[in-house]
Amino acid sequence: MALKDFYDNIPTLKSDRLILRPIVSDDAYDWAEFTSDSDIYKRWGKDSDGSEINTKTIFAEVQHKNFGKEQLLWGIALKESNKLIGDITIYNIENARMAKVAFKIAHKHRGNSYSAEALAAVLGFCFTKTELQRIWSDVAKDNIVSCRVLEKCGFTREGLIRQGKMVLTYCDYHIYAILKDDFTSGQQQNMSN
């Protein structure tokens, strides 16, 4: 299938401890719980504006973000409880060849390698089921944890943007990327070890 075939039909992905799935109205409370965490936004130069807390508008906001957009948005849920603890998005897709990835995990679930596990599942899907050849991300220089997640998943640090604009702030940030060939050779190498 082509990447565009998945925009309105986000597939469910599973890993050892997680289910990556479309976000549904029953997730509104869980979504509000982690998106209202100001720590998520501090590196973007904005604060949670409080709208994330209104559970009545959460699902409409998610639907609006997905509607007519060329992106893939998964909720990250714990396999054991189906509780939503974060999300991961493939977006800024260019010619179905390259795209950007972003992820966030609820504060109380950090430190468990859930981001890396979710990212690995998304990379596996993107590089085996779609025509994407390159996935990249930008990360604030001081966001050491996210840098480690990307590196753990095989991303290469390609450069440093000094005092560039990242969302709503100017800061130093790294550019990371992984190519389909990098992912494929990394998978083969892991299988031989």
Q: Residue 49 falls within a domain, yes or no?
A: yes
Residue 186 — very low, low, confident or very high, per pLDDT cuts 50/70/90? confident
Q: What tens digit of pLDDT does each residue of 5-14 get?
A: 998 899 999 9
Q: At a CB cut-off of 8 Å and minimum separation 6, what does 124 contact? A: 13, 183
Mean pLDDT calculated for residue range 83-91: 95
Least confident stretch, 49-53, 119-123, 128-132, 181-185: 49-53
| Of the listed ranges 10-19, 69-78, 184-193, the one predicted with least confidence | 184-193
Q: Domain count for the chain, please give it.
A: 1
Residue-level pLDDT at 88 = 96
Which of 1-5, 90-94, 119-123, 135-139 is predicted with the least confidence, judged by mean pLDDT? Answer: 1-5
Q: By residue range, what is the domain housing residue 43?
A: 3-133
**Considering the domain boundaries, does residue 105 fall inside one?**
yes
114 falls within a domain: yes
Q: Is 43 inside a domain boundary?
A: yes
**Mean pLDDT over all residues of the chain?**
86
Instruction: Report yes or no on 138 lying in a domain.
Output: no
CATH of the domain at 107: 3.40.630.30
